[in-house]
Amino acid sequence: MASDDIKSLSPVELRRLIREGKYTDNTSGLAPGYTQANLVILPKDLAYDFLLFTQRNPKPCPVLEVSDVGSKKLTEMATDVDIARDFPKYRIYKKGVLTDEVTDVDDVWRDDLVSFIIGCSFSFESEMIAAGIEVRNITEGVNVPMYDTNIPLKSAGQFHGNMVVSMRPIPEDQVIEAVKVTNSMPKVHGAPIQIGNPEHIGITALAHPDYGDAVTIKDGEVPVFWPCGVTPQNVIMQTKPDFVITHSPGHMLVTDVKNTALKYL
Amino acid sequence: MASDDIKSLSPVELRRLIREGKYTDNTSGLAPGYTQANLVILPKDLAYDFLLFTQRNPKPCPVLEVSDVGSKKLTEMATDVDIARDFPKYRIYKKGVLTDEVTDVDDVWRDDLVSFIIGCSFSFESEMIAAGIEVRNITEGVNVPMYDTNIPLKSAGQFHGNMVVSMRPIPEDQVIEAVKVTNSMPKVHGAPIQIGNPEHIGITALAHPDYGDAVTIKDGEVPVFWPCGVTPQNVIMQTKPDFVITHSPGHMLVTDVKNTALKYL
């Protein structure tokens, strides 16, 4: 199927194509206007502490939906879903080590698995663009730059650590608008947590992000930092659990929920 | 201590007085401007399903904080807290039956207990009054009228049921303002879920609430219905768990957090 044809597909059509193994690439730019979501799958014995961790740290860990134990279905973000097949690519971790990258996880599925569907900054980036604010990582066609910080998270059981943030350079006269647009979307990280002073949150070298790619910061632009969805995966991996499945970066679930519907959910 | 003296106490002073057993009455009108909160204490084996239930039903069940297992402390809503003593009155339920009403729960405390601190409509009522909207149950000095509805909740494990709502009559020309004020406070139930048509949510007799007291509805006023914090307690009791502690109605935790700080948390 040609690239233009893919972009015209609805979320449910895309999920079916992905489910059949006919699309295994990243989902950037697909089903414009619809929310895409991150995935963390954990065994039930870790699920309470992780759910509590997200409750205590909603800005970096905005949970959109949690599956029933053992279920591959969702009800809120999309119906006609197979969690084990509808992400184009998955990563399997054992004791904190990446052991496999696969296009479905049927083979390793267990009845004790719980799936956490987590909000993604793709949603607020599209709203920023709609508000006339350039998103540099999109313009430059690279991954957003992400940084470890010294901002402690609230711990829950074995889960603890510092916040990871993403950075977007914003023209000084659009910073307030960028705050307003993202503040209205708390289910996809919400407002920034730092504006203009990376050293205040322990970031020393903007040109050398800890994850993703560096982007150009032009004269008159201010680096603005948002809580980032890499945070929960980072925190989980630090505990080296026996078994975790995540989506592969950029290979998201395309949901039936419009980005605009996430405003002040 | 005289009533006027009580009303001048700060939240931490009030909690210490309550902790010492020197104040056991309801907390209505105390520490004006500060958030008061509901309590549900459950054994750990029920905590995952209940936390998931609140995640799936945030409007009737807005969780402000969850304690660590076995801990009597909080860190977000207040410090200098003893969960087992700082509510003026508690109710103890065994297999769904109220077995005791006490001023502290030290005697029955267990290392497997988890405390859920849940938002309360006291917070949005004070913001409505600040916005010039009369709150009839306060004017008439009675409990807010509450009703069972036909609105199904999303189930989680053994927890399921319908939403309970509270009703406040609002002059027609203030309904929009009442929606705006409460919508800005999702951590204390947020916007109404029904305006003006009780029969659409299964309520047939406004004069006969299922909980609380009836209030006067004047000509030109519209009955407005909000998700109600009785919902989670109702849902728990339906499952008749072996052991649950709640606060006694009106005998809340007075927290250190201002109502205004709950806006778009």
Measured in degrees and rounded to the nearest 5, phi and psi for residue B49 equal -65, -35
pLDDT at B242 over 90: yes
**Does residue B64 sit at the A interface (CB-CB below 8 Å)?**
no
**Cβ contact (<8 Å) for B264 and A183?**
yes
pLDDT of residue A10: 96
Q: Which of B9, B78, B7 is nearest to B39 (CA)?
A: B78
pLDDT at A192 over 70: yes
CA A59 centroid distance within chain: 12
Which region among A91-105, B185-199, B208-222, B251-265 has the lowest average model confidence (pLDDT)? B251-265
Nearest chain B Cα to A155, which residue?
A: B68
Mean pLDDT of A172-193: 94
pLDDT at A178 over 80: yes
**Does residue A183 sit at the B interface (CB-CB below 8 Å)?**
yes
**Cβ contact (<8 Å) for A264 and B183?**
yes
pLDDT of residue A170: 98
**Cβ contact (<8 Å) for B52 and A51?**
yes
* More confident call, A2 vs A55: A55
Q: Which of A55, A66, A75 sits opposite B66 (nearest CB)?
A: A55
Helix axes A175-183, A122-130, angle to 10 degrees: 130
A66: which chain B residues are within 8 Å (Cβ-Cβ)?
52, 55-56
Q: How far apart are the first and last CA of chain B?
A: 36
pLDDT of residue B263: 82
Structure tokens at B71: 């801990």
| ipTM here | 0.88
pLDDT at B148 over 80: yes
Buried/exposed A133-172: b ≥16 CB within 10 Å, e otherwise: bebbbbeeeebbbbbbbebebebbeebebbbbbbbbbbee
Residues B216-228: tens digit of each pLDDT: 999 999 999 999 9
* More confident call, A122 vs B179: B179
* More confident call, B28 vs B197: B197
Place of tokens 């711990």: A155
Mean pLDDT of B205-226: 96
pLDDT of residue A265: 52
Name the amino acid, one letter, at A61.
Answer: C
Mean pLDDT of B100-108: 97
Mean pLDDT of A69-95: 96
> Rounded to whole angstroms, how far apart are CA atoms A38 and A191?
19
**Does residue A48 sit at the B interface (CB-CB below 8 Å)?**
yes
Mean pLDDT of B131-154: 94
pLDDT at B35 over 90: yes
pLDDT of residue A250: 85
pLDDT at A77 over 80: yes
Mean pLDDT of A239-243: 92
> Rounded to whole angstroms, how far apart are CA atoms B226 and A224?
37
Nearest chain A Cα to B46, which residue?
A: A48
A156: which chain B residues are within 8 Å (Cβ-Cβ)?
68
Q: Show the CA angle centred on residue A185, arms to residues B166 and B233, nearest 5°.
A: 30
Radius of gyration for chain B, computed over Cα atoms and rounded to the nearest angstrom? 18
Q: Looking at CA atoms only, how far is residue A239 from chain B in angstroms?
A: 18
The enclosing H or E element of A145 equals: none
pLDDT of residue B265: 52
pLDDT at A243 over 70: yes
Residues A102-146: tens digit of each pLDDT: 999 999 999 999 999 999 988 889 889 999 999 999 999 888 999
pLDDT-above-90 percentage for chain B: 83
The answer to whether A180 touches A132, Cβ cutoff 8 Å, is no
pLDDT at B180 over 90: yes
Residues A56-65: tens digit of each pLDDT: 999 999 999 9
List the beta strands (DSSP E) in chain A: 34-43, 63-66, 90-94, 97-102, 113-118, 146-152, 162-171, 194-195, 221-227, 244-247, 253-258
Mean pLDDT of A234-239: 89
> Rounded to whole angstroms, how far apart are CA atoms A177 and A163?
24
pLDDT at B207 over 90: yes
The answer to whether A50 touches A42, Cβ cutoff 8 Å, is yes
Q: Looking at CA atoms only, how far is residue A57 from chain B in angstroms?
A: 11
**Does residue A47 sit at the B interface (CB-CB below 8 Å)?**
yes
Work out the pLDDT band at B233, boundaries 50, 70, 90: confident
List the beta strands (DSSP E) in B133-209: 146-152, 162-171, 194-195
Q: Which of A48, A75, A76 sits opposite B48 (nearest CB)?
A: A48
Looking at residue B42, the DSSP 8-state letter turns out to be E
**Does residue A52 sit at the B interface (CB-CB below 8 Å)?**
yes
Q: Which of B51, B156, B264 sits opposite A52 (nearest CB)?
A: B51
Mean pLDDT of A150-178: 96
Q: Looking at CA atoms only, how far is residue A48 from chain B in angstroms?
A: 5
**Cβ contact (<8 Å) for B264 and A154?**
no
Looking at chain A from residue 71 to 130, which residues have their Cβ under 8 Å from any Cβ of chain B?
75-76
Sorted by where each starts, the structural domains of chain A and their CATH numbers stand as 3-120+236-262 (3.40.1640.10), 122-232 (3.30.2040.10)
pLDDT at A28 over 90: no
Work out the pLDDT band at A225, boundaries 50, 70, 90: very high
Q: Which of A48, A63, A66 sits opposite B47 (nearest CB)?
A: A48
CA A41 centroid distance within chain: 14
pLDDT of residue A143: 87
> Rounded to whole angstroms, how far apart are CA atoms B10 and A258?
45
pLDDT-above-90 percentage for chain A: 83
pLDDT of residue A128: 94
pLDDT of residue A2: 64
Q: How many CB pairs under 8 A join A and B?
A: 34
